[in-house]
Each structure stands twice: as C-alpha cells, then as structure tokens.
Amino acid sequence: MIKTYVRLGLGVGVIASMAVDLLQNSDLMTVDARGVFTYSTTKIGFRRSIFLRSYMYDFIQRFAPHLTRDVVDNAIALRSNEDVEAMFKSAKLPKK
C-alpha cells in the first residue's frame, strides 16, 4: 500500500528494505535510512483462544524459522504475555 500511495504522488513512505525489489520498483527512488532508524523486532500475534491450523504454523515458521510448531505450542501454553516475553528473552534473532 505504501508504494502505491507514493506512486500516486501522496507523499513519501518508509518501508523495510526487504519490501523493495529493484526490478519491480525501478520507478521509485530509494534512500538507505539504516543510520536513521534503530532495529526493531517484528512480532506475530494471534488471539490466545484461536485454533492454529497447519497453514498458520507454516506461515509463522516461514516468517521466523526459529518458531517451530513445538516452540509456538510451548509459548501458547504459557499463562501470560510476560511469560512469553521471558521465554524469548535470550533468543538470538536474525537482523535483516
């Protein structure tokens, strides 16, 4: 959506570098802003009471390979968000 709005002349957009394909987005001007923003952690959220189907587990693992079905199930079994945060506190996350 952001790239569409920029193409329509509605301003500028800030997007992750992984969202830019130089061949498909050759009509857009890009500026590397690595020095402007700090790294941030993207989180995957879902309602605690939801039944996760196989394709949902597949999506989660494709998005974050360290989140295997067992890891997700262990996180779901925890009682609070604080417990989930503690579970992942020492996890080494990739920087992209």
**Per-residue pLDDT tens over the stretch 33-57:** 888 888 777 888 898 888 999 999 9
As a whole number of angstroms, the distance between CA 28 and CA 2 comes to 11
pLDDT of residue 92: 81
pLDDT of residue 17: 82
pLDDT of residue 52: 95
pLDDT of residue 96: 61
Q: Can you list the residues of the chain whose pLDDT is less than 50?
A: none
pLDDT of residue 77: 94
pLDDT of residue 22: 85
pLDDT of residue 63: 87
